[in-house]
Structure 1
Amino acid sequence: MSASDRLPVIGLTTYLERAKTGVWDVPASFLPKVYFDAVEKAGGIAVLLPPQAVSEPIADRLLDSLDGLILTGGKDIDPSRYGQEAHAETDEPRRDRDAWEDTLLRRAIDREIPFLGICRGAQMLNVARGGTLHQHLPDVVGDRRYQAGEGIFNHVEVGVEQGSRLATLLFPFPELVEGNASDTSLRQAQGTALIDVPVYHHQAIDALGDGLVVTARTPDGTIEAVELESVPFGVAVQWHPEESPDDIRLFAGLVDAARHYREQRREHPTT
C-alpha cells in the first residue's frame, strides 16, 4: 500500500451562494480555503461536497467514498426544521443545503463514519437529533459578543469538560490540565479546562438533541460544543477552529479517527 493509499478522504460541505469573479456573477459552490488547508495539514485529503438533490441512496453512494465528514459553517438553518417561525434576524433559508447536510449526517451516523461539526455544523447536528436553537443570541445574552460583524472573529473563553472526547483532543497530555501548562490560554476551573476560541455566530444550541452531551460552555452558559456518544467519533463545536491555522488539534483528531475507520473498512469490507 502506497503512502497516498493510507491518507483518509474527508468530505467537507460547502456554501451554495451567488458569487462574482471576473465577468461572471452566478450561483456557485465554495468554501473558505482555511477549512481544506486544515484537513491537508492534518494528513487528510479534502473533497468538497456542494449542496445538491439528495436521497439516502445518493448519500450512501457518496459516503462509500469518504472516511470522514466535516459539516462546515454558513447561513442559518431553516427554523421550520425545529418547529419555529423565523426570527427577524434569521437568515433567508437555504433549504437545499439543509436537506443535503441533514441526509449526509444521518447516514454518516448510521454508518459510524467519523464527523466533525463546525459552527452551523454543530447546530445542524443538534437539529438533526431533534433539538432546537436560540435564533438570536443577543436576545439571550444581551449583546453581540459572539458575532461582532464585518467578518471579525471575537475570542471568548470556553470551559471544556474534563474526560470528554473534546478534552482528549484539545489537551492530549493530562498534566497540562492540572495547572502545569505554559500556555496561558489554558486554565482550570470547576472540572473544566478553559481556553480562548474564535467565534462568529448569532445563533446557538437551545434544547439539546437526542443522544448529545454538552462538552463545552462559555461562562454565560452558551453551549459551545456537543458530542454524540453513540458513535466512535462525533464531535461538534460552535467556534471556528479553522481560523487558528497553527492549531489543528480537532482536524487531526478527525483525520486519525477517519484513518482508523478506513483501516477497519479494509479489514472488514461489507458484502
Structure 2
Amino acid sequence: MTHLETTRPLVGLTTYREEASWGVWRQKADLLHAEYADAIVAAGGVPVLLPPASGSDISARSVVARIDALVVSGGADVDPARYGEEPHERTAGWREDRDAWEVALLAAADEVGLPVLGVCRGMQVMAVAAGGSLDQHTPDVVGHDEHSPGGDQFGGIRVRTLEGSRVALAEGDEVLAHCHHHQSVHAHPGYVATAWAPDGTMEAMEAPGDRFCVGVQWHPEMGRDQALFAALVGAATHR
C-alpha cells in the first residue's frame, strides 16, 4: 500500500434519513445520492457518510476530529423557526434531526477550521447557523420558477462569479449551474456573496480568510465539472 493510499483525506457527507425501499425492505434508512461520494472519490478523497443519528455537540466534535473536510449536502427545507419565521405555505418537509446535526457539525468545524462545502440546502444551513435567514420561496422574489422547475428536473442557470473568490478560482468567471432550490439565502452574516444568477439571486457565498468554507446553491455533484469538490479535497490535503 502506498503512502498516498493511506493519506487520502476523509470527507464527511451529511445524509438524509427517510423511508426508503430496496430489495424486500421498506423502512427508515440513511441515504445520499451516489453522485456525492463519486465526486469525492474522483477528487482523490474518501467519502464517509454522516447520518443524523445524533445532534449533540459532543458527537459532532468527535466526528470533526476524525475527518479532514465536511460536505453539508442538499435536501429538505430548513425549519424556519431556526431563523425566527413562520413557515411559508410552500415551506415543507423540514427534518429537525438533520437540522440539529448539521448545525452541530458546522459549529464543530468552525472551532477547528475544517474545510467545508455546503450544497444547496447545505449553503442555507450554513447561513442559518451563522444567524442569517432565508427567502422561503424564491419565485415570490424573482417572479419565475427557473431555479427549480419541478419534480426531479434541474434548472440550468448561468451563474456569474466574483473575481478572485474561491468559487471563481475553481470554476472560472461563469458556471452553468444545475439548480434545484425553491428557497435562497437572504441574510448571511460572516460570509461574502461570491456568485449570482442573472435575476440577482445569490448563488454562492464563502467565508473570508484562508479557510475553505464555501456554500453554493447549485448541485456541482450533478454536473460534468466538479471542480469545487477537487478544491475542497485539495484544501483538506494541505490543511
TM over 0.5: yes
Distance 2:84 2:40 in 1: 34
Residue range with higher mean Cα deviation, 162-171 or 6-15: 162-171
- 5 Å matches for 1:1-271? 2-171=3-172, 193-208=173-188, 210-230=189-209, 232-244=211-223, 246-261=224-239
Q: 8 Å contact 1:10–1:46 — kept in the other structure?
A: yes
Q: 8 Å contact 2:55–2:102 — kept in the other structure?
A: no
Distance 1:89 1:14 in 2: 23
Distance 1:232 1:194 in 2: 23
Q: How far 1:195 moved relative to its partner?
A: 2.6
Q: 8 Å contact 1:10–1:68 — kept in the other structure?
A: yes
Q: 8 Å contact 2:39–2:221 — kept in the other structure?
A: yes
Distance 1:53 1:234 in 2: 23
CA offsets per residue over residues 135-174 of structure 1, 9 Å max, x none? 0111111121111112011101111000111111113xxx
Q: How far 1:230 moved relative to its partner?
A: 4.6
Q: How far 1:122 moved relative to its partner?
A: 0.4
Q: How far 1:45 moved relative to its partner?
A: 0.2
Distance 1:216 1:237 in 2: 8
CA offsets per residue over residues 36-95 of structure 1, 9 Å max, x none? 000000000000000012322211111111000000000000000000000111113200
Distance 2:181 2:203 in 1: 10
Q: 8 Å contact 2:55–2:98 — kept in the other structure?
A: no
Change in Cα spacing, 1:6 to 1:228, as seen in structure 2 (3 Å) is same
TM-score using structure 2 length: 0.96
| 5+ long unaligned stretches in structure 1 | 172-192, 262-271
Distance 1:207 1:116 in 2: 18
Q: Which runs of 4+ in 1 moved over 3 A?
A: none
Distance 1:124 1:98 in 2: 7
SS in 2 for 1:250: helix
SS in 2 for 1:159: strand
Q: How far 1:3 moved relative to its partner?
A: 1.9
The AA in structure 2 aligned to 1:198 is H
Identical-residue share of aligned pairs (%): 45
TM-score using structure 1 length: 0.85
Higher-Rg structure is 1
Q: 8 Å contact 1:15–1:29 — kept in the other structure?
A: yes
CA offsets per residue over residues 218-240 of structure 1, 9 Å max, x none? 12110100001155110110000
SS in 1 for 2:177: strand
Distance 1:169 1:110 in 2: 25
Q: 8 Å contact 1:109–1:231 — kept in the other structure?
A: no
SS in 2 for 1:201: coil
Q: Aligned pairs, how many?
A: 238
The AA in structure 2 aligned to 1:254 is L
